[in-house]
A and B are shown apart, each in its own frame.
Chain A
């Protein structure tokens, strides 16, 4: 077992960190404050394969290994959780399901544009009455001769305001054996598709999370991903990789808050010495460092399982549960270490603190992760 990062992963981390610190960090405060999606930065990210991380090379993607993927999301999120979120969602639940479940024609049609970031991907599951319980989905797709007509409203769609292609989870009540729901690919130009208001959220404010409306939205047959009734299967598979992304994101937020705290604790003097000299602060930093380390090991193990082609759902769920919770704890301590300044928008930890919470909520709440983990635990032969 080798715990040293290999040279490639070190270089990938450095490259993404360099990009994030040079191009994103200077504006991250403005983006958050103005709830602005940074198209200019996205433009710079496109040729660097940020949008094609998991897209196969054959379709112009970078097809990076799982740990490189996690490191990329981690380093983006260390600077801007909202941009890390955009990339994570686009890759894991936007592009990945098409690579995994799409036909050759579908991949040919959608993956190159997704991989180049010309279309930003989104995955629409949540509705007013359906969150963790996908059984409550009311959006309907009705079969017509040459396609389906979709009607319904999705809420809290990450990347919603900017998505060029949304993967829509809908029920198809008329179809035989369609209990699992189905996934449809809806391009933004489709008549009847519209974007609702951007949500006014506590954190991740630079990501245009919004509602999406589907009013008699007609999509051709070839926009059905997999078969009718495959929805739940696709959704669960997408969420498995999605969890790696969110765990990486949570870890990145925690790392950013931790780095800021170490720096601050060394700089800030009280009672004529740096606060880092006080044991209470040292205890905080020690706890933060330990949790981050533990989370990283859990996460990279899930990634390694994925790269080896082994089942990794339980590992990803453990990583997501642990990393999102540690992100909340670590950012909370980071604000505490910063004292009054930490509560001010002048310091980054205030933003990390707000951004961290939602990682415990989306792509499966912590409660749902435990269900997944428990299922894995209980199904093990003893």
Chain B
């Protein structure tokens, strides 16, 4: 009997579709990896009236989409989805299953891995295939201070959750064709022991620090509460948000919800300004995802200055004032 065609599966996580395109991002990476193990790229999706998403997955690289469409699947339930994904995986034996590391994905994946008796790596930021055709899964540990490379040598499928934003989705291809494989809902599906009673989308808040594209972080080096307030003006000019280190928050220069650190907010802006921050590891772990870090500190040896893309050796407070002046001049023009 002919062995099953190798396949890489991507779990279709569509609940937050417009904000979170991790499924499409994973399809793109699966398309890149598939030739190395001679595999098909497949998506799996569970829900009710999900045709639009099925089309999207095909347009973004899926060659096959397994669909279980049923009115009972209107709401997300990790227990039900775990049962369904396990069921499909046992039936079709994929080589690899990739799941977006959303909150839901990170709850679902370990349950599926457990049921299938296979390995799982959490929150990967790199995926590659080694010479033996094994999936090398690279994930951060210790607050991003370390990276660990993991493989699952003997058990199948190889499973990983992948951090959203790690890979670029492919452009939408209207001409793409793929097989849609409807699968009937298994009849012996157990009643979930955890039932969703209410689910409401959290209203879009005023811009949140953790979503801001520009973050202005201030530390003790700003000098005083009064001087620290200048950062708000700078943030306003930049359309960004103000974050702070623990000493600043404890000195009541700013409210506690501005704390950027392991015990506070993690930020991932395009640009992060860091004024007078020395850079304790609890703080730097929470800003490591920023694309561009500009640090201003009198002490060139401060850890914050070492991790910055641009380290400005100067008085934080003076540079802040000067930057405000210059930005006002340029933006007015």
Name the CB-closest residue of A to B248. A26
Name the CB-closest residue of B to A23. B250
Whether A26 contacts B301 by the Cβ 8 Å rule is: no
Name the 8 nearest CB pairs between A and B, nearest first.
A26-B250, A26-B247, A267-B301, A268-B301, A27-B250, A26-B246, A30-B251, A27-B251
Please report the number of residue pairs spanning A and B whose Cβ atoms sit closer than 8 angstroms.
22
Name the CB-closest residue of B to A267. B301
- Chain B residues within CB distance 8 Å of chain A: 220-221, 246-247, 249-251, 298-299, 301-303
A331 to B213: give the CA distance in the assembly, Å. 44
Given contacts A26-B249, A346-B221, 8 further A-B contacts (CB under 8 A): A26-B246, A26-B251, A27-B250, A264-B301, A267-B303, A269-B301, A341-B299, A346-B220
Residues of chain B lying within 8 A (CB to CB) of residue A29? 220, 247
A267 to B301: give the CA distance in the assembly, Å. 6
A341 to B299: give the CA distance in the assembly, Å. 9
A207 to B170: give the CA distance in the assembly, Å. 64
Chain A: residues with Cβ within 8 Å of the partner, total of 11
Name the CB-closest residue of B to A30. B251
Residues of chain A lying within 8 A (CB to CB) of residue B249? 26
Name the CB-closest residue of A to B263. A22
Residues of chain A lying within 8 A (CB to CB) of residue B303? 267
Residues of chain A lying within 8 A (CB to CB) of residue B221? 346
A267 to B45: give the CA distance in the assembly, Å. 51
Whether B247 contacts A267 by the Cβ 8 Å rule is: no
A29 to B276: give the CA distance in the assembly, Å. 15
Q: Show 22 residue pairs from A and B whose CB-CB distance is below 8 angstroms, ordered by the A residue.
A: A25-B247, A26-B246, A26-B247, A26-B249, A26-B250, A26-B251, A27-B247, A27-B250, A27-B251, A29-B220, A29-B247, A30-B251, A264-B301, A267-B301, A267-B302, A267-B303, A268-B301, A269-B301, A341-B299, A346-B220, A346-B221, A346-B298
Beta-carbon contacts under 8 Å, A236-274 to B: 264, 267-269
Name the CB-closest residue of A to B245. A26
Residues of chain B lying within 8 A (CB to CB) of residue A346? 220-221, 298
Residues of chain A lying within 8 A (CB to CB) of residue B301? 264, 267-269
Residues of chain B lying within 8 A (CB to CB) of residue A30? 251
Name the CB-closest residue of B to A344. B298
Residues of chain A lying within 8 A (CB to CB) of residue B247? 25-27, 29
Residues of chain B lying within 8 A (CB to CB) of residue A269? 301
Name the CB-closest residue of A to B249. A26
Residues of chain B lying within 8 A (CB to CB) of residue A25? 247
A27 to B251: give the CA distance in the assembly, Å. 6
Nearest chain B CB to A206's CB is how many angstroms away? 14
Mask of A3-38 contacts with B, CB within 8 angstroms, 1/0? 000000000000000000000011101100000000
Name the CB-closest residue of B to A268. B301
A27 to B225: give the CA distance in the assembly, Å. 13
Name the CB-closest residue of B to A266. B301
Residues of chain A lying within 8 A (CB to CB) of residue B251? 26-27, 30
> Among the interface residues A25, A27, A267, A341, which one has the most CB atoms of the partner chain B within 10 A?
A267
Nearest chain B CB to A302's CB is how many angstroms away? 35
